[in-house]
Amino acid sequence: MLKRICCFVFVFVILITSFSINTFAATEEKNLPICKINLDTTNINGSEKTELKICDNDDKISAVISEGGYTTWQFTVSESGYYSLALEYFTIKGNGMDYEVALTIDDDFPCDGAERVTFPRVWEMQTADNGRFETDNRGNELMPSQKEIETTVKRNFADYSGMDDSPFSVFLEEGVHNIKITSLREDIAVKSVEIFNNPPLESYAKTLAKWEALYGKPKGDNIKTFEAEIIKQASSSAILPGYDRTSPATSPNSAKYIKLNTIGGENWKNSGEYIIWDFSIPEDGYYIFTFKYRQDLIRGLSVTRKLTIDDSIPFCEFKSLKFPYTNDFKQITITDNEGKPAYVYLKAGKHTLKLEATLGEMSKTLKPVEEIILKLNNMYRRIIMVTGVNPDTYRDYYFSKEIPMLFDVFKECSDGLKLYADNLEKMYGKGNETSLFYELAAQLDSFCKDDRTISARLDRFKSNISALAELVFNLKNQPLELDYFTVHQKDATIEKTNSTFLQRLLFRIKYFIYSFTSDYSQLGNVYDGEVLNVWVSVSDMGTTGAAAGREQAQLIKRMIDDYFTPQKNISVNLSLANTSEALMQSVISGNGPDVAMYLPKVSVMNLGVRGALASVTEMSNYNEVKERFLPASLIGFTSRDEVFALPDTLTYNMMFYRTDIFSEEGLTPPKTWDEFNNVMSILSKKNMQTGIPESQQIFEMFLLQNGSNIYNEKNTEVTLNTPKALEAFRQWTDLYVQYSLPVSFDFFNRFRTGEMPIGIVSLTMYNQLCIGAPELNGLWEMAPIPGGSQTCTTTGSVVIKGSGKEKSAFEFLDWWSSTETQKRYGNQLEVLLGTSSRYNTANIEAFSMLAWTKEELSVLRSQQEYLSDFSITPASYYVSRNITNAFRRVVYYYENSSEVMNRYSEDMNKELARKNKEFNLN
């Protein structure tokens, strides 16, 4: 018996060790049979919801697979081995989202990531007649708009969302196989599928020798320069030109006007993202490439690009070209291994140049390191489940008993970290980056040696993990900004373009002087005479999920000039205003705008009750317009029978939770408060927390769910001292008193580490999590809040009374709030700035047309059904500050909640009566 157990344990240990060796061992040589199997529409042997038709003008038939449909092919492989796959597709128009397909071979997903492969659409930048960009009537170049074009694209099956953008490597036995492509999003027109292995690329030395034998030695002095901002095509519509005005060295350049003169940077950093340029050369010969670039975003690291000319990589060295860190624009000539310029033989005429961001060798290191981070985060969570976040340093927690696998995982992770640090050093040389790996590894080793030190060093452990996550995030980014590139021959001399100190000084002085003459708060075309003046309140946009900034306002202005002005013949000047306070002051002095956008509801009502705003009910088609919004979003703008604004954005709380931790703990997302309380106590037993911020919205939610209100029907008294409201107040304060939730915390960070796996926070957290926590992709979800009902936060557009331009102002509001405009704005914004700028429009129809997934949309929809709101009175500011005071009385000093609320209610009533008297509202 004992022998048997020993044997079993032995096998088990072997299994475990072999497994861990496997994960970290370098990949052994794979058999990659060189071949090319092309499956076009004539080979199809089965399909559903697929239509064969000619989409293109080259007479080739495409199989248009509708969303949810599939097509299958059969093919034969003559040799067992690993193969790559590529898809040739035609970008037919649809809803504007990227195509997503699932790849199955012999009824099984052949590798990780095959469940969902993304194939992008193609965007083309719209340029003006002179080949550059359109300008506004003041001479500034405008950000070009993007147009979707229909063209044929061939792209490998690969996981572009992750780090490893190399094509999937699928093992296929010799024989007949079945391949099936299912469309998951949008209708995709498939032209062909290819199963291939390309012959390995030859080295530069070999290729050059071959060329020299054919064409002789490099010579000639041709030179041609191409502006990088004028591109042919880019993989993503977010790759847009930018402008650099820090020095006179960028080309083109002007101290007075905005000239778009660079491309890339922050928006060209993910692996797989590429830019294609056209270039032409006058005669056959050997050419050298020189780029003027800047990489100042990631300190001390170089970024990698893959260079392709006319759809093929000339030699294997061009698969990963390094662009080192530089904080100013610098020229770099592509060289061979010995530092001599690398020649490429090209025929005279037109060519294309493609640079693609790639992680190259590094992806093989980063992916497992990311897994290590996940594992260590998991261990951290397990440790705090035992100790709490503030462990007792003098206590022995017996970790080896409490968390048996802890030391195995630590050992494994420590070995892994050391191995990958070595790998990185081979690529980058010794440096700051790898020291963090070693530090963490050393910490893990010492934890294994003496587990009693864990509790004292937990903080450091946690900060090391997040520093490592940050580092991996940075290493993954490959931002590169280009000014121009030069194609030249051996004897041509490239002019030095770096500016001297004096030139730079002169430029900055000129720039400073011009800054007095142009008004930067004005955007785009500026008109004289009869115009509608519109202000955008930037800071308020930022806090309400519309994201702050010039880009947004610029886009609004562009849409106005392109659609509204031609349609209604009303010119509009758009300016940026900082706050709603500035608006108040300008209205007083009579210099105010005619329309103001994105005002928070409190500001709207402040202006409204004092008679500064025109009621939107005066709009001729108001009854039709109001149907665009949820009735709840209008309540906050309504005073008696007047409505002072049309809503722009609408945000509300959602429940965010970590799916991985929930399934680990066997929890289901709570739907009722009973269930929620249950989850809270389970989590708190495991030393994890629940995040509910100290905000009035939470109280309002409890009020609504208890069937109470803040004010009575005529807004003459507060009803917070009624039994129902007192019950709501008790429920709210009990969260902090009974369940001792933290009052002050950073939800985003604690959600990331898993300390706080559930929270009720604003919908804008979605944007933050999408962009700021890529490692959590797929590990969290949002759900409607328990009980459903809650109030909402809105911003709105208002029309200022007494300008004499109310009629055109109403027409503007009508146009702006229409589904068409809001949908276009939301989509364009995301095209321009990425998912992080998801726009929470108040127009419900337009909201559902944004790029939400079906599941997300149905969750948000079901939450929207429950939205409601309370009206705002002139004394609202006073009510909300007293609610906060009452809350803190109870939570800080454990006073009796009903008593406290009764006391503060009296104060509120007094102020309400006074304000009602002031405005004759009784």
Partner 1 sequence: MQNNFIKNIIKRKNVYLLLSPWLIIFIVFTILPIISAVFLSFTSYNILQPPKFNGFENYLRLFLDDDVFIIALKNTAIFAVITGPIGYIMSFIIAWMINDMSPRARSILTLLFYSPSLAGNVYFIWMFIFSGDSYGLINSNLLKLGIIKEPIYWLTDPKYNFWVCIVVLIWMSMGAGFLALVAGFKQLNYALFEAAAIDGIRNRWQELWYVTLPQMVPQLLISAVLSISGAFAVGYQCASLTGFPSTDYSTHTLVLHIQDYGYNRFEMGYASAIAVVLFVIMIVVWNVINKAINSMGD
Is 885 among the residues that bind partner 1 (CB under 8 A)?
yes
- Give, as ranges, the residues between 824 and 883 that touch partner 1 (CB under 8 A): 877-878, 881
Can residue 746 be called a binding residue for partner 1 (CB under 8 A)? yes
Instruction: Closer to partner 1 by CB, 120 or 874: give it.
Output: 874
Cα separation, 381 vs 389, in Å, equals: 9
Compute the distance between CA of residue 507 and CA of residue 375 in angstroms, rounded to an integer: 52
Q: How many residues bind partner 1 (CB under 8 A)?
A: 30
In the complex, minimum distance from the CB of residue 745 to partner 1, in angstroms, rounded to a whole number: 6
Site string for partner 1, 344-383 (x = CB under 8 A): ----------------------------------------
* Site membership for partner 1, residue 389 (CB under 8 A): yes
Q: In the bound complex, what is the minimum distance in angstroms from residue 888's beta carbon to partner 1?
A: 5
Is the Cβ of residue 392 or residue 408 nearer to partner 1 in the bound state? 392
- The whole-angstrom separation of Cα 658 and Cα 691 is 12
CA distance 332 to 330: 7
| Residue 600 CB, nearest approach to partner 1 (Å) | 14
Interface with partner 1, residue 93, by CB under 8 A = no
Spatial CA neighbour of 248 closest among 239, 256, 237: 256
Residue 752 CB, shortest distance to partner 1, in Å, is: 13
Asked if residue 377 lies in contact with residue 753, where contact means CB atoms within 8 angstroms, the answer is yes
- Region of 67-75, 162-170, 643-651, 735-743 interacting with partner 1 (CB under 8 A): 735-743
Question: Which residue from 357, 441, 587, 718 is in contact with partner 1, where contact means CB under 8 A?
Answer: 587
Question: Least Å distance between CB 919 and partner 1?
Answer: 9
Question: How buried is 692 (Cβ within 10 angstroms: 0-12 exposed, 13-18 middle, 19+ buried)?
Answer: buried
Amino acid at 293: Y
Residue 333 tokens read as: 């000539």
Find the shortest distance in angstroms from Cβ 34 to partner 1.
57
Is-contact 872 794, C-beta < 8 A? no
Q: Considering only 103-111, 140-148, 243-251, 384-392, which stretch makes contact with partner 1 by CB under 8 A? A: 384-392
Kindly tell me which of 378 and 884 has the beta carbon lying closer to partner 1: 884
Which residue matches tokens 């980063």? 366
* Three-state helix/strand/coil letters over 707-755: CCCCECCCCCCECCCCHHHHHHHHHHHHHHHCCCCCCCCCHHHHHHHCC
Neighbours of 58 (CB within 10 A): 9
Q: Which stretch binds partner 1 (CB under 8 A): 96-104, 352-360, 363-371, 884-892?
A: 884-892
Residue 780 CB, nearest approach to partner 1 (Å): 21
What residues from 890 to 919 belong to the interface with partner 1 (CB under 8 A)?
Answer: 892, 915, 918
Positions in 591-620 near partner 1 (CB under 8 A): 606-607, 610-612
For partner 1, the closer of residues 629 and 637 by Cβ is: 637
Residue type, 393: T
Please check whether residue 452 is in contact with residue 387, taking contact to mean a CB–CB distance below 8 angstroms: no
Find the shortest distance in angstroms from Cβ 611 to partner 1: 6
Return the C-alpha torsion angle 262, 266, 269, 274, nearest 10: -40
Q: What x/- string results for residues 525 through 564 when contact with partner 1 is judged by CB under 8 A?
A: ----------------------------------------
Binding-site member from 160, 277, 702, 745 for partner 1 (CB under 8 A): 745
- Residue 820 as a binder of partner 1 (CB under 8 A): the answer is no
452 binds partner 1 (CB under 8 A): no
Min dist CB 910 to partner 1, Å, is 9
Which residues are within 8 A (CB) of 222 and not within 5 positions of it... i.e. 6 or more apart?
A: 281, 282, 283, 285, 287, 488, 489, 492
Q: How far is the CB of 10 from partner 1 (least distance, A)?
A: 45
Q: How far is the CB of 467 from partner 1 (least distance, A)?
A: 15
Contact 264, 479 (CB under 8 A): yes
d(CA 687, CA 460): 19
Query: What's the CA gap between 911 and 671, in Å, rounded?
Result: 38
Look up residue 9 and give its DSSP letter. Answer: H
With CB under 8 A as the contact rule, the residue among 506, 584, 844, 913 that binds partner 1 is 584
Is 922 a residue that touches partner 1 (CB under 8 A)?
no
Site string for partner 1, 236-275 (x = CB under 8 A): ----------------------------------------
Q: Binding mask 312-351 vs partner 1 (x if CB under 8 A, - otherwise)? A: ----------------------------------------
Pick the closest to residue 797 from 546, 570, 567 (CA basis). 546
- Choose, by CB under 8 A, the member of 45, 198, 337, 390 that binds partner 1: 390
DSSP string, 136-187: -TTSPBPPPPEEEE--EEEEE---SSSS--SPP-EEE-SEEEEEEEEEEES-
Pick the stretch among 13-21, 51-59, 158-166, 888-896 that binds partner 1 (CB under 8 A): 888-896
Report the residue number, 315 or 878, with the smaller CB distance to partner 1: 878
Contact stretch for partner 1 (CB under 8 A) within 91-99, 356-364, 388-396, 439-447:
388-396
Residues 428 and 303: beta-carbon distance below 8 Å: no
Report if residue 802 touches partner 1, rule: CB under 8 A. Answer: no
H or E stretch covering 536: strand 531-537
Rounded CA-CA distance 458/380 in Å is: 8
- 165: Cα separation from own chain's centroid: 19
Name the one range near partner 1 by CB under 8 A: 63-71, 79-87, 658-666, 738-746. 738-746
Q: Within a 13 Å sphere around the CA of 83, how many CA atoms are in the beta-carbon half? A: 27
Nearer to partner 1, 321 or 688 (CB): 688
**Pick from 744, 804, 854, 920: which binds partner 1 (CB under 8 A)?**
744
CB-based contact 845:819 (threshold 8 Å): yes
Three-class SS state of 537: strand
174 lies in the binding site for partner 1 (CB under 8 A):
no
Q: Which of 742, 772, 774, 788 binds partner 1 (CB under 8 A)?
A: 742
Please report how close the Cβ of residue 813 comes to partner 1 at its closest, in angstroms. 22
Tell me how far, at minimum, the Cβ of 672 lies from partner 1, in Å: 29
Query: One-letter amino acid identity for 192?
Result: S
Question: Could you tell me the smallest distance in angstroms from the CB atom of residue 612 to partner 1?
Answer: 5
Of 888, 898, 909, 913, which one interacts with partner 1 (CB under 8 A)? 888
Q: What are phi and psi of 6, to 5 degrees?
A: -55, -45
Q: Return the number of the residue (175 or 590) whose C-beta is nearest partner 1.
A: 590
Spatial distance between the Cα atoms of 547 and 341, rounded to a whole number of angstroms: 45
| Separation of alpha carbons 576 and 587, rounded Å | 15
Contacts from 763-766 at CB under 8 Å and sequence distance 24+? 763/545, 763/651, 763/652, 763/653, 763/654, 763/840, 763/860, 764/544, 764/545, 764/651, 764/840, 765/654, 765/656, 766/654, 766/656, 766/838
Contact 523, 538 (CB under 8 A): no
Rounded to a whole number of angstroms, the minimum distance from the CB of residue 62 to partner 1 is: 56
588 lines the binding site for partner 1 (CB under 8 A): yes
Structure token digits, residue 52: 């064969």
Q: Is the Cβ of residue 531 or residue 584 nearer to partner 1 in the bound state? A: 584
Is residue 743 at the binding interface for partner 1, with CB under 8 A as the rule? Answer: yes
Footprint of partner 1 (CB under 8 A): 389-390, 392-393, 459, 581, 584, 587-588, 606-607, 610-612, 740, 742-746, 877-878, 881, 884-885, 888-889, 892, 915, 918
